[in-house]
Chain A
Amino acid sequence: MISVRRLSKTYGAARVVDDVSFDLFPGTVTALLGGNGAGKSTLLKLMGGVLAPNSGEIRAGAEAAPLASIRDAMRLGVRSAHQEGSLIPAWTVREHFTSLPAGAAPPWAQLAPHIDPDATVGALPQRDQQLLEVCRAVYGRPQVILADEPTAGLEPELSARIVKALQSAAAAGAAVLWVTHDLEVALASVDRVLVLRGGRLVRDAPATDATVRSLLADFTGGPEGFDTVVARRPSGADPVGPCFTLAGVALPRGRVVGIVARSAAGVSTAMRRAAGLAPTARSDPLGFPGSRPKIGYMSRERSREWDFDGQDLLFNLTASIVAPLARHGLRDRPGERAAAEALVEAFSIVAPSLEAGVHELSGGNRQKVVLARLASSRPQIFLLDEPFSGVDAPTRRTLAEQLRSLAGEGAAVAIYSQELPDLIGAADRLVAIRDDGATIDIDDWSHPRAAVEEWLSGPAGGELAA
């Protein structure tokens, strides 16, 4: 038994886990679901004592003792299987399991019978390490098991084994919380589902009450205002001529293309490759003939790839235009200041002065600063990865308008987001990518959301609509 009460965790201005409460009971398997960045992993880390909450508390065990550290978690029988391995690479398999009772079946017999107990863990393939991670979490009759995507990337047969191991741990009296993106499997094998969206618990229900489609609706926001979105599709056909492509999606100039995918379908990686942050074998990651186009990329890594830390607003706004404005390497400082003032005006950035530290600005304003800086160098193509997460509704609307006007000036704009309502509001054109890589251009602008969900909930790897 483990109880979570009014738990919140914030990073700067972002509330990653927001006032979450629930209990987990012995003998049950509960799935924790949600889109990317919904707060699932953070919640698990809080429950495992790895992170400390900003408010709220966790209690576990028969006496409902407070759990505030990894040490508490161990003592109270709360075990975690993390995404990033908690195994010790230099140890052998056997060394990871202390005090094995003589004669008893080794803990890995069920899950990974093929593993050599004397093999060094670091030398094992990734999937064997993943299996061991689960072995360790279920070993020794724990009270609570917290499993963060233990089946990610594994073939169905191995995933099924892990699910079975979690179920039998529950049958033996554990309360199991399982994070997964595989909605069909989750619904077929758990007792209860919890859904997080933007750090808040938006569904807590028996699994039998949920469908894949209703879960996807939970992921992407409430139904309010959805089907009333005015589709602002530009009249006429897309401009002709060479066209950028990203993860198989065509990005014509002058258009905002919204990309939605049911799970990590490689769009983020494709964007990073195009921006030059991830290695790629292709010299033209955007499939564009000729010289490399100028790219404005807004990363989802807002804390690490957005700002010039510790510098002022002026510095952050003008970083891309210092060189173009300069003559013979000498800066044009009045010109920079004028350009920064124009950007503040154009992107309605609210700040005390150009000399204000960029970290004094709110999250929404920091985002505008990033977009303004990208726009200042006039790229031919904008790639935005989850630009809507963590900002309030008015800022989202402003962002959508600004992206449309950048497209109006001739740029190709691609937005990848799980926030379907915002995507529908911002995009001229909506593309959905399924797990099997199949894409569809959403044509039904009278009910775009229904069209997207129907496509995404279709059978992964199933027959394609021609």
Chain B
Amino acid sequence: MKAKDLATFILPVSAAIAVVVTALLQPLFLTPGNLLNVVGQSAPLAVVAIAQMLPILTRGLDLSQGGVVVATSVVFALVAQSFGAVAGMWAGLLVGAGAGFLNGAVVGGAKVSPFVVTLGFGSVLQGAALILANGQPISNVPEGFTLLYYGRPFGIPIPLFVVAIVWLLIWFMLQRTTIGRFIYAVGSNERTAYLSGIPTRTTLVAAYTLSGLLTSVGSLLLSSRIASGHPTAGSDMALQAVAAAVIGGVSLFGGRGGVHGAVAGAAFLGLLANALNLLSVASFVQLIAVGISIILAVLIDRVRFANRGGG
């Protein structure tokens, strides 16, 4: 019991420690400008982490996110060159939704391990993105597109609006709609869900499709930030998104956790990256920090739900 209670407090406590230590060492950290910076930088990850949370809630995983991010970015840039930014964004979103649908169809229909299916599919998408982009970033995207990331109506960055809308919509879906309930049911026990008359396949397809679509939204934020269609930038986002979700208390055993946790986990990772930057720690060290965070989070998850699904 004590270990479980302790586990619940680890995220807020370690976030607080990171904030205090960094603020003491680097006064710039707690300035409004920097904090707004953190929020903006965390936004793509926050959206992708919310996306990742959906398959995890069904006791699955979406490791194709890296591929979806780069494929969306490249397809967006190619279409935007000829037909404008709006058409490019629609095309990018279509790539994500389509990829997610295929993931869901294979995972739900053929009962194959989501780990393998999405990992394989992610690799396909990464290769496709490199081929389409000829291995080079596509930089001549319409100028107005960068507003998606850098625009600040009422002084508030647009990425913050995007995160808020996605956050609210997914919260509403999970709490107030039948499909949200089905996602938790399938993740808690797919057999019981099936025996209770819940359409488990449809639920899985929906969860993965939505996951792909939201991953594309995150990718567009990222593309706007770097003002290009990039065939490799963000290809490591699946792991970061899993880390964010699990750090935020979304259980890898399925059926536990929610959208607030995924956002909090992404914010924590953004904060950590920013703090390490300000303290002039090499960016390579950040890889190690993220890796350790995810391993710790998974261990905590194990402790919290140690008594579940045993046998």
Contact = CB atoms under 8 A, between A and B. Distances in A.
A319 B198 contact: yes
Contacts of A330: 176-178
Interface in B42-79: none
A333 B172 CA distance: 13
Interface stretch (B132-140, B157-165, B186-194, B230-238): B186-194
Contacts of A310: 188, 251, 253, 255-256, 305, 308
Contacts of B195: 275, 277, 297, 299, 305
A299 B194 CA distance: 12
Nearest to A322: B181
Q: Which of B185, B194, B197, B309 has most chain A Cβ within 10 Å?
A: B197
Contacts of B280: none
A277 B191 contact: yes
Contacts of B253: 310
Interface in A286-315: 294, 297, 299, 303-311, 315
A303 B198 CA distance: 19
A271 to B, nearest CB: 11
B31 interface: no
A304 B191 contact: yes
B179 interface: yes
B32 interface: no
A326 interface: yes
Interface in B234-287: 251, 253, 255-256
B196 A373 contact: yes
B311 interface: yes
Contacts of B255: 308-311
Assign chain A's interface to a size class: 20 to 34
A417 to B, nearest CB: 19
A329 interface: yes
Q: Which of A307, A319, A331 has most chain B Cβ within 10 Å?
A: A319
B184 interface: yes
Contacts, number: 83
A309 B196 contact: no
Q: Which of B177, B195, B305, B307 has most chain A Cβ within 10 Å?
A: B195
Interface of A: 275-277, 294, 297, 299, 303-311, 315, 319-320, 322-323, 326, 329-331, 333, 359, 373, 377
A280 to B, nearest CB: 15
Contact of A308 (B176, B189, B305): B189
B311 A308 contact: no
Given A306-B192, A309-B309, A323-B182, 8 more contacts: A277-B195, A304-B311, A310-B188, A310-B253, A311-B184, A315-B184, A319-B181, A319-B198
Given A309-B188, A329-B179, A303 B311 contact: yes
7 contacts: A308-B188, A311-B255, A319-B193, A322-B178, A323-B182, A330-B176, A331-B176
A329 B178 contact: yes
Given A303-B311, A310-B256, A331-B177, A277 B194 contact: yes
Nearest to A276: B194
A377 B196 contact: yes
B58 to A, nearest CB: 13
Contacts of A306: 192
A-B pairs with lowest CB-CB distance, top 9: A308-B188, A319-B196, A320-B196, A326-B178, A305-B191, A322-B181, A323-B178, A329-B177, A309-B308
B185 A331 contact: no
A123 B255 CA distance: 40
Contacts of A315: 181, 184-185, 188
A303 B188 CA distance: 13
A307 B305 CA distance: 15
Given A322-B181, A330-B177, A305 B189 contact: yes
A299 B181 CA distance: 23
Q: Which of A275, A276, A320, A322 has most chain B Cβ within 10 Å?
A: A322
B250 to A, nearest CB: 13
Interface in B178-230: 178-182, 184-185, 188-189, 191-198
A170 B240 CA distance: 62
A297 B188 CA distance: 18
Nearest to B251: A310
A306 B184 CA distance: 15
A319 B185 CA distance: 7
A322 B311 CA distance: 29
Contacts of B309: 309
A299 B184 CA distance: 21
A331 B189 contact: no
Nearest to B177: A329
